[in-house]
Structure 1
Amino acid sequence: MNLSLFILSAIIMTCNIIWIIFFTPMVPDQEWAQKIFYLHVPLAWSGFLSYFFVMLSGILY
């Protein structure tokens, strides 16, 4: 189960990075800096949520 989830996650992340680099339009005044947000913001939110769930689990323990 863990290996299949890892492989599925790797495939989805690879597709996401390819989509960001090649298929999203560039904003003329920001160029590549704007495309970083398509990857950085979801990763930051999932990092924040994981810390929140760990904190909540520690409190409930």
Structure 2
Amino acid sequence: MSEEKLNRLFEQFFRADSSRSSRSGGSGLGLAISKEIVELHGGKIKAESHDNIISFTIFLPL
């Protein structure tokens, strides 16, 4: 995945695969909601892409 798309993953209504419709994909809200929840708890969430695999890491304060 390109760095530009990776940076936009947490935006509302953003879909990495622009060929998907709401019938076959989703609304593009899940990651935006996840980011909001994590940040409300004082944490951070990030995404990394290596060899066509996207990994998500969540950091929460103790």
What TM-score comes out, normalization by structure 2 length? 0.36
Point out the structure with the larger helix share: 1
Point out the structure with the larger strand share: 2
What TM-score comes out, normalization by structure 1 length? 0.37
More relative contact order, 1 or 2 (CA 8 Å, 6+ apart): 2
User: Larger Rg: 1 or 2?
Assistant: 1
